[in-house]
Chain A
């Protein structure tokens, strides 16, 4: 497995603005962790061809019926918004 990574690029993908100091320390931490998880690359797997389930009990996830059920009210849903107006979330412009 390859441990080449660009911390600035990963931080951009994760939408986290990292300071220079954080970039250095997190790069170092991630290298150590990735070196450890590389142990997986030596593993000879028997289950290569098998279907992979996300559910550990291998439950097949089903879609719910499209029915109206009780849920949060509009006011409740917006009650924690950092900024709202006329029942809508307010955000800074998406384009400059």
Chain B
């Protein structure tokens, strides 16, 4: 058995029994990266040399029986919009191509305390804006299942890295589906925790009321282990919340809702079939399953593409060529800023900044941003009402399987539509997970999304694990090991 195929708990057991050393696994994932990186381009930076010493320290702890963490010696890849001290954080943008972070993100501090080994920084759509990792200033990432197809985005590098076993797990960030959609396209588990449970300190901000860090892993249990390690209130993130988890049943006393609006037009038959397959399994196990309607979900894309660009236009105002990042000269400060931003940002980032600037501009604020905020509030209320009778909501994660590279790049709206099923959880702050359930006729992975009420992350993970065990999806991309 190749150790890079194992779950975190299985690997930890081998480390503890001294049947495998962290340094051996560390070498193995870099061997995998050497086999796949030229074809996939999952990473922007690989850290092998720097961490060999740390891997040897993990070896020593296990050899002496001193290790106390499940993540000790586990190789994890980090999306390149999360800061690791003294390493570059480029956000796949020319704007930050030379930026070296002087500090650690809170999630990185927490993983360091657990003696996790970082493998590298992964590719993404520039500033996490995109659904295919085609918007990176440093080249495309390909889907490890079939390199003609995109890995999804914006955390496409993280998903491709875990898919090709160049890391055991990865961190991504999810603003409108950027963890769950690439996880689904690459046959992996992607978990977006409840908004605020994981600190955003050190994550380069895109849309602050929607951004959330979370794991991309091979199994639900791996996501659970990483979530429990990185979550917790943080005074450096004013929006972080106390992680007081609600306990809701995950056994067959739970009631499941299938969201009607996410099983209609625009969703492929293959995606619907995966949901129906899971529903049949749950019914056979004695779960009560109902179809439920949340009509405002149909407006998710409209709401999101006002709120996210509005927040993005404010957040990205900081890239002005003064304190960090690219500077392109100009005769005055103002000219310098205009030239810097023209040169530093790619087309999609400019599109969203301009859209957000317009939505927030005098005379249009109430009409666009104000209305979107009200609609978002309505959606939050609708979900809260639904969760009075329903414990878990099921839908496809994505309307279709992965699409081909270049297929949607000329049509931004069509690209935006690929996040139709994932955006509602960000707007409402809900925990949401994508679980791989099967393959399409093109032999590409498909996934099912499960959402639950805010702060029921642990119960959601328990319930998802039941689905995972019943579905028994054990596919993995071939040719990289």
A→B interface (CB under 8 Å): 1-2, 5, 7, 10-11, 13-19, 22, 25-26, 29-30, 32-34, 36-41, 43, 45-48, 50, 52-59, 61-62, 64, 72, 76-83, 89, 91-96
Contact = CB atoms under 8 A, between A and B. Distances in A.
Interface of B: 98-100, 102-103, 194-196, 209-210, 235, 238-239, 241, 296, 299, 301-303, 305-306, 313, 317, 320-327, 329-339, 341-342, 345, 347, 350-351, 353-355, 357-358, 361, 364, 367-368, 371-378, 380-381, 412-413, 416, 426-429, 454-455
A82 B239 contact: no
B100 A93 contact: no
B354 A11 contact: yes
B372 to A, nearest CB: 6
B305 A37 contact: yes
A1 B371 CA distance: 11
A10 B354 contact: yes
Given A36-B413, A59-B196, A82 B325 contact: yes
A77 B102 contact: yes
Nearest to A62: B238
Contacts of B196: 55, 57, 59
A83 B327 contact: yes
Nearest to B370: A52
Given A1-B367, A38-B302, A82-B326, 12 more contacts: A15-B320, A16-B353, A16-B354, A22-B347, A22-B350, A26-B350, A37-B301, A43-B296, A55-B196, A56-B210, A79-B102, A80-B102
A10 B368 CA distance: 15
Contact of B375 (A13, A45, A57): A45
A16 B341 contact: yes
Contacts of B429: 55-57
B339 A40 contact: no
B377 A93 contact: no
Contacts of A36: 301-302, 305, 413
Given A57-B429, A59-B241, A17 B341 contact: yes
Nearest to A83: B327
A33 B336 CA distance: 30
Contact of A94 (B306, B332, B357): B332
Contact of B374 (A11, A47, A89): A47
A29 B100 CA distance: 34
A14 B354 contact: yes
A34 B122 CA distance: 32
The 8 A-B residue pairs whose C-beta atoms are closest, nearest first, are: A56-B429, A80-B324, A82-B327, A76-B102, A17-B338, A17-B342, A14-B357, A37-B302
